Amino acid sequence: METLNPRILDVEYAVRGPIVIRAAEIEKQIKGGNHSFPFDRVIRANIGDCHASGNQVPVTYIRQFLAGCTYPPLMDSPDFPSDIKQKVERLLSVCGGKSLGAYTESQGLIAVREDIATYIQERDGYPADTSDIYLCNGASDGIKTVIKLLMNNDATKPSGIMIPVPQYPLYSATLSEYGAHQIGYYLDEDNNWALDIDELERAINAAKDRCTPRGIVIINPGNPTGQVLSRENIENVVRFAHKHRLFILADEVYQENVYLPGSKFFSFKKALMDLGAPFNQMEMASFHSASKGWHGECGSRGGYYELINIDKDVRVQVNKLISASLCSAAWGQAMMGAIINPPKEGEPSYELYKKERLDIVNRLKQKAELVSKLFNSVEGVKCNAVMGAMYAFPRIELPEKVINHAKSKNMAPDAFYCFQLLEKTGICVVPGSGFKQKPGTHHFRTTILPPVDQMADMVEKFRTFHMEFLREWK
């Protein structure tokens, strides 16, 4: 420990933190049969892993495509639709030796990048260049790469990156690892977690003496908060970033997860381009992932980022940096290709794909509406509408006695609460303190992924626990 990189000690990742470790221990005890817990299973609502929730099976088209890419002789089977066979042949034709086992170009397979460019152009109405697109091992890998570009290596006044509070712990963990300064800006909980420009100004002005502000992260739709930003909100953020010469990092991995009627996803690239000069010349990176969306292929570690308006000499350095890792996993690249280029109407795979997609999306919409409704029916709990993404971030009012007790144990009050919730009900959620939150407030994050009956059961168990907890600690 004396010779360990000290920055590692500052890295925290609550989504797989102490409460989740304890949940795994409890699961092991339950499986062994020797336990006294008042429940027979752990409900894991801590991580946005669709398939692990047990409520979602892989999409047939996606898995058939991956199966064909991995073991081409399967394509001789009459069970595989002709459109899938054509796509498999196209992808393998750009692989070394026509094998997914070969290294790819450092930026990723050109066929997949072509499909991503088409996807972006159809989404935004503006052309996308394959040379601007980089495939990576999940969006996390791309985010870390781009943040790395913004570091200045000045210990006295390091690079500052603006991150939302609450935020996804990847950002605070990465900034700690790189020795960067975290410029937290608070989302407006009373306004469905919107971004407030006055708050952005407050945050950057308060940090200028301690760092050199270099970039701003926006997560839309939000994690852990589930908000979807309005077009006007996005445009105001673009103007703010231009004013302060900030590189925009648009985390848009949940762009296909929008549930609330009247809400709509707008990409930062489209907003930036629609605003015209000088905003359309701003540097920006946007990120997408195979892990999220409605398909939820987390384990494939597929993702991409698009870099726009980057200086040509800087791009040379970016390409050098990624080439040091040779390439991202070819399996993940193929997965991203399948997700970004689904069957079109009239193709043999389309009808089944359409049905499976509709079933999954409708279930997510149903649970998004159900979760906030149920939590808001519990005394002392307030939960904003789940507009998008896969999470709810309820606020809990904790008695002063709990807060003081938790502090005496050197714990965040909501972490103490979540440990008690796990031990007494088997419900595993992540405390809001793991995502950062406004001082004096307490939250937890839960996914909306368990089956509908489990979600309803989970909230009823939560309701019983919460009322008993308040009686015990009032």
Per-residue pLDDT tens digits for 295-317: 888 788 899 999 999 999 999 99
Per DSSP, the three-state class of 407 is helix
Q: Are residues 334 and 380 in the same domain?
A: no
218 pLDDT band, cuts 50/70/90, is: very high
With 70 as the cut, is the pLDDT of residue 346 above it? yes
The mean per-residue pLDDT over the stretch 204-222 comes to: 94
Q: Note the pLDDT of residue 15.
A: 60
Q: Are residues 133 and 262 in the same domain?
A: yes
Q: Are residues 373 and 333 in the same domain?
A: no
Q: Are residues 336 and 358 in the same domain?
A: no
Whole-angstrom distance, CA of residue 465 vs CA of residue 474: 14
* Domain-embedded: residue 68: no
* Domain-embedded: residue 108: yes
> First vs last Cα of the chain: how many Å apart?
42
Residue numbers of the domain that contains 107: 93-340
**Where a domain ends, among 285, 312, 340?**
340
With 90 as the cut, is the pLDDT of residue 285 above it? yes
Look up the CATH number of the domain holding residue 173: 3.40.640.10
The mean per-residue pLDDT over the stretch 64-88 comes to: 92
Q: Note the pLDDT of residue 18.
A: 83
Look at the chain and report how many structural domains it folds into: 2
Q: Are residues 241 and 110 in the same domain?
A: yes
Higher pLDDT, 271 or 29: 271
The mean per-residue pLDDT over the stretch 25-37 comes to: 84
The mean per-residue pLDDT over the stretch 48-52 comes to: 72
With 90 as the cut, is the pLDDT of residue 219 above it? yes
Q: Note the pLDDT of residue 456.
A: 80
Q: Are residues 314 and 195 in the same domain?
A: yes
* Domain-embedded: residue 32: yes
The mean per-residue pLDDT over the stretch 357-375 comes to: 87
* Domain-embedded: residue 201: yes
| Backbone angles phi and psi of 192, in degrees to 5 | 55, 40
Whole-angstrom distance, CA of residue 266 vs CA of residue 220: 9
Q: Note the pLDDT of residue 241.
A: 97
The mean per-residue pLDDT over the stretch 422-428 comes to: 91
* Domain-embedded: residue 214: yes
- Mean pLDDT computed over every residue of the chain: 90
The mean per-residue pLDDT over the stretch 331-342 comes to: 93
Would you list the DSSP string of 277-319?
A: TTGGG--EEEEEESSSTTT--GGG-EEEEEEES--HHHHHHHH
Region of poorest pLDDT, from 30-44, 260-274, 310-324, 381-395: 30-44
Residue 47 makes CB contacts below 8 A (sequence gap 6+) with 15, 16, 20, 447
The mean per-residue pLDDT over the stretch 159-179 comes to: 90
13 pLDDT band, cuts 50/70/90, is: low
Per-residue pLDDT tens digits for 220-243: 998 889 899 999 999 999 999 999
* Domain-embedded: residue 400: yes
**Where a domain ends, among 340, 371, 389?**
340
Q: Are residues 291 and 433 in the same domain?
A: no
Q: Note the pLDDT of residue 16.
A: 63
Structure tokens that stand for 329 in this block: 């996993």
Residue 413 makes CB contacts below 8 A (sequence gap 6+) with 398, 402, 403, 406, 407, 433, 442
Q: Are residues 197 and 141 in the same domain?
A: yes
What percent of the chain stands above pLDDT 70? 98
pTM: 0.89
| Backbone angles phi and psi of 303, in degrees to 5 | -170, 170
Look up the CATH number of the domain holding residue 39: 3.90.1150.10
Q: Are residues 308 and 440 in the same domain?
A: no
Q: Are residues 300 and 194 in the same domain?
A: yes
* Domain-embedded: residue 379: yes
* Domain-embedded: residue 136: yes
Per-residue pLDDT tens digits for 81-109: 999 999 999 999 999 999 989 989 989 99
336 pLDDT band, cuts 50/70/90, is: very high
**Where a domain ends, among 314, 340, 366?**
340
Q: Note the pLDDT of residue 474.
A: 83
Q: Note the pLDDT of residue 14.
A: 58
Q: Are residues 373 and 310 in the same domain?
A: no
Q: Are residues 168 and 35 in the same domain?
A: no
